[in-house]
Structure 1
Amino acid sequence: MSASLLIAGCGDVGSRLGQAMLRAGWTVHGLRRQVAALPAGVLPVAGDLEQPTCPADWPREPLDYLVYCAAANQHDEAGYRSAYVEGLRHVLAWLALHGQKPRRLLFVSSSGVYGQRDGEWIDERSPAEAEGYSGQVMLEAERLALASGIPATRVRLTGIYGPGREWLLKQVRMGYRVVSEPPLYANRIHVADCAGLLAHLLAADAAGVALEDCYLGVDDAPAPLHEVMGWLRERMGVTEWAEESTVRRSGSKRCSNARARALGWAPRYPSYREGYAAILDDA
């Protein structure tokens, strides 16, 4: 079916989502500061989520769906609160100003809301008790979404990687080491699968499927970080270790995508092997 969608914070993930929904026949509005970077076909809404002034070219027609997909410009508590809490509050106010009430809000969140660090398997029902400011602020934004008066679904994405998101590849090239005991489990999702999951949720809701209020966005295979780096070292032909260099992580958990899969979604890149192989082949 055709529907209208506003993607607030239409960056990398949002642009990929916009293109997918355009192919499905939807009308897509993309809100971001630099609208020249929007994909062709996405209707531009030039604005700053962190400022209270409503964008001049805010859509005037009814909006069926809202995806809030912001990214913090400052990586501190104030920056996170401005991007995720205040930004969402501004968008909700702009909707109210124009008498618009979407059928559903998808709030793009993070698995950083979980505080587990001992390799536990977690899902959407696991306690979300983040210790750091980033996860705590994201939980605050999630609560705002759930209290918005719009049916809301939180989509907690794990470590996003893909073209242009190659931090781990750089670490491998530099010969960085990572501890293997105890194993540090890392979760990831290819950026294309982030957009694919959001598109799947939108299509399901539009078709009348009842959505849960939370989904984890993760591939099929959480893996110890040393295993991932070992595979990448072999694939990339890296033979040298840097002296006294160690990649450290504060958390270790394994996220399950069973709920999203039960809805019929499947990642295009089911593990780090397929995803990183595609990146390296393109390079």
Structure 2
Amino acid sequence: MSITSVMIAGCGDVGSRLGIRLAALGWTVHGLRRSVEQLPAVIRPVAGDLQRDDCPAAWPGGALDYLVYCAAANAHDEAGYRAAYVEGLRRVFGWLAARGQRPRRVLFVSSSGVYGQQGGEWVDEASPAEAQGFSGRIMLEAEQLALSSGFAASVVRLTGIYGPGRQWLLSQVRQGYRVVAEPPLYGNRIHVDDAAGLLAFLLQADQRGTALQDCYIGVDDEPAPLHEVVAWLRARLGVSHWAEQSSVRRAGSKRCSNARARALGWAPQYPSYREGYASILAEP
């Protein structure tokens, strides 16, 4: 049996964790990023810039079985999002075409920000994706580029990623972060290891011949009101003070469902914020 190969374009934190998992399965993993010295040793470095037209010199010459497009925007404005998600993906498709490479499936890592629901509704892959902000609209455009590429493709809409090195909420809670309780502001999250695990699960399922759908939401089992998460973290951290500012009102409130991924056999290692944050707080 030939060795399965994958290109992870935009191989940052999630991509590197995915690459480690796939390499442990015996896959040949190529990782494209600007600063390849940060890649784990098991990932073959491909130094390149998704915002430059020239194909990276280290781009592999042989067949590629899978492409995972896992980029992140350098600038959080409309131009930055378009450059990272639409133009970058278009460049990678051009590099594949120039080398006659036809992956058996493309995974495009998207965001639950494509949904515009704000009333605490349950959202799944069939729900209308009608984000009003530029970030959600551009991500939808990039999704369509992937799905109309001529390759078999699936988009994976990840929710709020947290984990080691992603501790904004913990920092805010330590400072006495206030959040309204009514109406509840539902948040959706996925531990970074579960985000990588879901991508690996989908690739392995496709390799086995399982029919994949064109969209999956990556989220844990328990979307929760933000005030509940903050209260739990305050208790764990021993925080008793509150910030002087009035309660923070965050835009957007919805509850994302992972039923489709679970029906395929995936299950998160960290089913809720409690297990996920407990593992972070237990780290030395």
What is the TM-score normalised by the length of structure 2?
Answer: 0.99
In 2: Cα distance, 1:275 partner to 1:254 partner: 18
1:64 counterpart = 2:60:
no
The letter for the 2-side match of 1:173 is R
| Aligned-pair CA distance for 1:175 | 0.2
Q: Which runs of 4+ in 1 moved over 4 A?
A: none
Deviations 1:1-36 (A, max 9, x none): 741000000000000000000011100000000111
1:108 Cα deviation (Å)?
0.1
CA distance in 2, matches of 1:245, 1:173: 16
**Aligned residue in 1 for 2:90:** 89
In structure 2, what residue type is equivalent to 1:149? G
Structure 1 counterpart of 2:253: 252
1:230 aligns with 2:231: yes
Secondary structure, aligned partner of 1:178: coil
State which drifts further: 50-59 or 243-252: 243-252
1:282 aligns to what SS in structure 2? coil
- Residue type of the alignment partner of 1:133: F
The whole-number CA distance in structure 2 between the counterparts of 1:250 and 1:195 is: 27
> Counterpart in 1 of 2:114?
113
Q: Distance in 1 between matches of 2:36 and 2:276?
A: 29
State the AA in 1 paired with 2:277.
Y
Q: Deviations over 1:164-201 (max 9, x none)?
A: 00010011001010000000000000000000000000
Tell me the secondary structure at the aligned position of residue 124 of structure 1: coil
Per-residue deviation, 1:245:
4.1
Q: Is the 8 A contact 1:176 1:245 kept in 2?
A: no
Equivalent residue, structure 1, for 2:48: 47
Take 2:26 and 2:154, find their aligned partners in 1: how far apart are those partners? 23
Query: In the alignment, which residue of structure 1 is the partner of 2:174?
Result: 173
- The equivalent of 1:193 in structure 2 is 194
CA distance in 1, matches of 2:96, 2:247: 47
Letter in 1 for 2:209: G
**Is 1:25 the counterpart of 2:23 in the alignment?**
no
- Which digits, 9 at most, give the CA deviation of each residue in 1:257-279, with x for residues without a partner? 00000111000000000000000
Report what 2:156 is aligned to: 155
SS in structure 1 of the partner of residue 212 of structure 2: coil
What displacement does 1:244 show? 1.8
| Structure 2 Cα separation of the partners of residues 248 and 106 of structure 1 | 34
Distance in structure 2 (CA, Å) of the matches to 1:224 and 1:41:
39
> Could you tell me how far apart the structure 2 residues matched to 1:169 and 1:91 are?
36
Amino acid at match of 1:85: V
Larger deviation: 35-44 or 251-260? 35-44
> Number of residue pairs matched?
283
Q: Do 1:3 and 1:27's aligned partners in 2 also have CA atoms closer than 8 Å?
A: yes
- 3-state SS of the aligned residue for 1:246? coil
CA distance in 1, matches of 2:250, 2:84: 25
3-state secondary structure, aligned to 1:105: strand
Give the secondary structure class of the aligned counterpart of 1:163: coil
Distance 1:114 1:151 in 2: 23
Q: What SS class does the counterpart of residue 89 from structure 2 fall into?
A: helix
Do residues 239 (structure 1) and 230 (structure 2) align? no
For residue 41 of structure 2, give the secondary structure of its aligned residue in structure 1. coil
For 2:31, what is the secondary structure of its paired residue? strand
Q: Unaligned regions of 5+ residues in structure 2, if any?
A: none
Distance between the aligned counterparts of 1:88 and 1:226, measured in 2? 37
Instruction: Report the counterpart of residue 100 of structure 1 in structure 2.
Output: 101
What displacement does 1:246 show?
Answer: 2.9
TM-score if structure 1 supplies the norm length? 0.99
